[in-house]
Amino acid sequence: MKRLYIVGLVLILLFAIAMIGYGAWLNKTGENQITERMEQRTIPLQGDKVQMRDMHPKLFLDAINLYSEDMADAIALIDGRIEKVSVSKNSHVESGEVIFTLVNDDIPLKIQQADSSIAKAEAQLANAKNNYKRYTRLRERDATSIEKFDEAEAAYFASEAALKEAKTIKEQLLVQSARQEVLAPIDGEILIVYRQQGAYVQAGTPLALVGNFSRLLFSMPVDDKNAQRFSVGDTAQLTFTNNQILRKAYDTEYAAGNRGDAQIFDVTVKEIMPSLDEPASLRKVVLEIDNRVGLLEQQTYNGAVLTSSKTRKFLTAPLSAMIDTKRTEVFVVTAENTLERRQVRTGADDGRYVEIISGLREGETVVTSDAEGLEVGTKVEVTFAGGDGK
């Protein structure tokens, strides 16, 4: 019995050892299979080619500060009381249009006095003229003294001067009378009305601020490398990403031709300072906006987008291939269909593609799928958006 017991125990131990060995073999085989499968695994990804493309470069600006060069005060040129205000805030005016009417009660009385002075001077001149002619004839016959003749001549010239002075005074008064109408200094809109009807003002008092917003300006600092791509006269289109800022009432004078959220403004490069032929590391580019629809005002707007009207050809890659916010890295598919992380230098973009300045060659494939979880060396199978990699 004891012998049979020992034999059974040995068999059990041998079976246990065999099971452990078999389990270890299965585990090793499984690990090898997993490793082999992982090495042979191919991840399907979306990609695109790096190639030359025609672009209308876009420039995204966080904010632009619009201002007008055409702003002026309408100023009272005489003392007086405001009898009539012919405009209101935001109303459009043209240069020379009457916008205020003043009343100066002294001017009509002074004009009457000037008329009396003129009439008196004319009578004195007529009398002095006749006297001068008479003494001229007498002098020709040597019938009067030189002193008498000189007195008559002097009286005549003095009367002429007195009449001229009286007429000048009246002309000045008429000018002052005309200044009772205050005119708009420029074409534009009434931005501020400083004084209201009934107020008494002195000469030199601003009555209203007029601004012409049909052309608005803004400027931006640009480094020399990018500034060299601009030229005075270049055109672009301005839009806004914040679609609330252009929503003005359609039934006001402001909104003639207003397209609301779809509004596009034509922009022209007006000036580059310093000029491109002068050495500078940083330049100021001044742009002019065609705002004849009257939709924009002199203020700061957020979320502006400038799209160049000029078509440019660049070596480009999709923006979706950029794996960092600074646009400096991409995943490139190698000839062995594995992933390579590549540093790149980028330039302008059009919202879909970005200019590649360095780091990529034409014809290379970049990954446009979500880069999260991707690792260098991973085998991939790339599908192109166009289906043929072009």
Report CA-CA distances (Å) from 138 to 145, 150, 185, 294: 9, 12, 60, 78
Instruction: Tell me how far apart the 2 most distant CA atoms of the chain are, in Å.
Output: 192
How far is the C-alpha of 27 from the C-alpha of 199, rounded, in Å? 101
pLDDT-derived band at 333, boundaries 50, 70, 90: very high
Report CA-CA distances (Å) from 370 to 321, 338, 388: 9, 16, 21
What pLDDT sits at residue 66?
94
Is residue 251 pLDDT above 50, yes or no? no
Average pLDDT, rounded, for the chain: 86
Weakest mean pLDDT among 3-7, 34-38, 237-241, 313-317: 34-38
* 151 HSE (CA, 13 A, CB side): 5
Task: State the average pLDDT over residues 266-291.
Answer: 94
Q: Which CATH code is given to the segment(s) 43-55+313-384? A: 2.40.420.20
What pLDDT sits at residue 38?
45
What pLDDT sits at residue 272?
95
User: Full-prediction pTM beyond 0.75?
Assistant: no
pLDDT digits (tens, 9 = 90+) for 59-100: 889 999 999 988 999 999 999 999 999 999 888 899 999 999
pLDDT digits (tens, 9 = 90+) for 182-229: 999 999 889 899 999 999 999 999 999 999 888 999 999 999 888 888
DSSP sequence for 373-390: T--TT-BEEEEETTSS--
pLDDT digits (tens, 9 = 90+) for 282-295: 999 999 999 988 78
In whole angstroms, what separates CA 175 from the centre of its chain? 42
> Three-class SS of residue 339?
strand
Q: What is the DSSP letter of 184?
A: P
Report CA-CA distances (Å) from 288 to 11, 129, 217, 296: 98, 65, 5, 12
* Edge-first strand listing for the sheet containing 71-75: 71-75, 206-211, 188-193, 92-93
Task: State the average pLDDT over residues 293-307.
Answer: 87
What pLDDT sits at residue 247?
55
> Three-class SS of residue 306?
strand
Report CA-CA distances (Å) from 315 to 52, 55, 125, 224, 225: 4, 10, 90, 21, 17
Is residue 240 pLDDT above 50, yes or no? yes
pLDDT digits (tens, 9 = 90+) for 341-384: 999 999 889 889 999 999 999 999 999 998 888 889 989 899 98
List the helix and strand counts (H, then E) for the chain. 4, 23
Is residue 250 pLDDT above 70, yes or no? no
Q: Which CATH class is domain 71-104+180-211?
A: mainly beta
Weakest mean pLDDT among 28-32, 155-159, 290-294, 303-307: 28-32
How far is the C-alpha of 383 from the C-alpha of 337, rounded, in Å? 12
pLDDT digits (tens, 9 = 90+) for 177-191: 999 999 999 998 898
Task: State the average pLDDT over residues 273-277.
Answer: 92
- Domain map (residue ranges) of the chain: 1-39, 43-55+313-384, 71-104+180-211, 106-178, 213-298
Q: Which CATH code is given to the segment(s) 106-178? A: 1.10.287.470
